[in-house]
């Protein structure tokens, strides 16, 4: 009984009053190792309950499992309630979380890259504050969807919040051939944006699965090219760059007719925040995480559970 009462007092000093273990040990005339054992006992016996009240709807346990499984710097998983609903609703939740994270982590020393994606557009719409820094577009836009999503303005929209310089790419994501791509890359505005890629310190990208409706690039190329790329083992796409199931970058003909940062430059960015969600993308997310590209992942519960099953299996 004495240890139980002592454990309660010790735990109160530690958790509520904020005293160190050394201070508590001196007050009680015991060793700091005894203090540590009493604190552990208070937790295990239910004398102390630790509760979290996250400012966002995050599943803390699942987030930590995912971070640990892939050696990520950070992982954030929307809890099951926030992950339920139509895809546009989940996308807005993912975008809002990414906007908050960007606002909390970007500094004036950063150069931030944004890929073209619906989830990144949702993040741009939710950003309310950023320090002054350059905002760089990482790839062109899919012409058939641009007018609806206004994605061509994403970089300028975020740059307006930041007050920093904007480096957009006013050009299609997928072009008909290599020659057209090379001509456009030499255009002054686009060339200026591509020149910023070596300066990038942070990037926000979306993970696409090499499946119908799960990647804007997949939907933009011809059926013959899709089949050829699928036969090469493509599983995932990030900023129009492809990865196989083991996370290895794939070199295909597609690389020569897209306006986008190349894989080598993308892999050199110190911090890459990836947005990937919904169960159908689990294999693609797993592949990209295996590549070592991603430092922070923002996802939802169905995708996270699928990714962990793949990792464990």
Residue 56 has pLDDT above 80, yes or no: no
User: Whole-angstrom Cα distance, residue 99 to residue 118?
Assistant: 14
Residue 50: the pLDDT is 72
pTM of the entire structure? 0.82
Categorise residue 18: left if φ over 0, alpha if ψ from -120 to 50, beta otherwise: left
What mean pLDDT value characterizes the chain? 91
Average pLDDT over residues 33-60: 82
For residue range 223-273, list pLDDT tens digits in order. 999 999 999 999 999 999 999 999 999 989 999 999 999 999 999 999 999
Q: Which DSSP letter does residue 74 get?
A: E
> Rounded to an integer, what is the distance from CA 306 to the centroid of its chain?
17
Percentage of the chain modeled with pLDDT above 70 = 94
Residue ranges of alpha helices (H) inside the chain are 2-11, 21-28, 32-44, 60-70, 80-83, 87-105, 118-126, 143-149, 154-162, 178-185, 188-194, 216-220, 223-231, 263-267, 282-291, 301-312
Q: Report the alpha-carbon distance of residue 85 to residue 90 in Å, rounded.
A: 7
For 264, the 3-state DSSP assignment is helix
Do the Cβ atoms of 47 and 11 come closer than 8 Å? yes
Q: Give me the percent of the chain exceeding a pLDDT of 90.
A: 74
- List domains and CATH numbers for the chain: 1-45 (1.10.10), 58-312 (3.40.50.1360)
DSSP labels, 18-53:
---HHHHHHHHTS-HHHHHHHHHHHHHTTSS-----
């Amino acid at each position: 009984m004495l240890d139980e009462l002592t454990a309660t007092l010790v735990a109160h000093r530690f958790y509520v009053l904020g005293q160190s273990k050394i201070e508590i040990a001196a007050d009680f005339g015991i060793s700091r190792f005894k203090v540590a054992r009493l604190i552990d006992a208070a937790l295990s016996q239910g004398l102390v309950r630790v509760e979290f009240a996250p400012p966002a709807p995050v599943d803390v346990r699942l987030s930590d499992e995912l971070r640990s499984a892939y050696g990520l710097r950070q992982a954030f998983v929307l809890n099951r309630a926030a992950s339920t609903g139509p895809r546009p609703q989940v996308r807005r939740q993912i975008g809002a979380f990414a906007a908050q994270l960007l606002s909390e982590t970007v500094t004036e020393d950063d150069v931030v890259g944004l890929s073209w994606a619906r989830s990144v557009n949702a993040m741009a719409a939710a950003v309310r504050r950023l320090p002054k820094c350059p905002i760089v577009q990482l790839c062109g836009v899919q012409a058939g969807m641009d007018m609806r999503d206004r994605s061509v303005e994403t970089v300028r929209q975020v740059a307006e919040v930041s007050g920093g310089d904007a480096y957009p790419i006013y050009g299609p994501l997928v072009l008909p051939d290599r020659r057209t791509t090379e001509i456009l890359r030499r255009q002054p505005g686009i060339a200026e944006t591509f020149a910023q890629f070596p300066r990038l310190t942070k990037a926000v990208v979306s993970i696409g699965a090499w499946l119908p409706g799960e990647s804007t690039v997949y939907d933009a190329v011809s059926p013959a090219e899709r089949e050829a790329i699928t036969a090469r083992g493509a599983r995932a796409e990030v900023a129009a760059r492809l990865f196989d199931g083991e996370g290895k970058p794939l070199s295909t003909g597609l690389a020569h007719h897209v306006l986008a940062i190349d894989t080598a430059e993308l892999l050199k960015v110190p911090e890459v925040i990836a947005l990937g969600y919904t169960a159908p993308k689990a294999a693609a997310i797993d592949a990209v995480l295996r590549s070592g590209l991603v430092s922070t992942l923002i996802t939802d519960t169905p995708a996270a559970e699928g990714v962990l099953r793949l990792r464990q299996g």
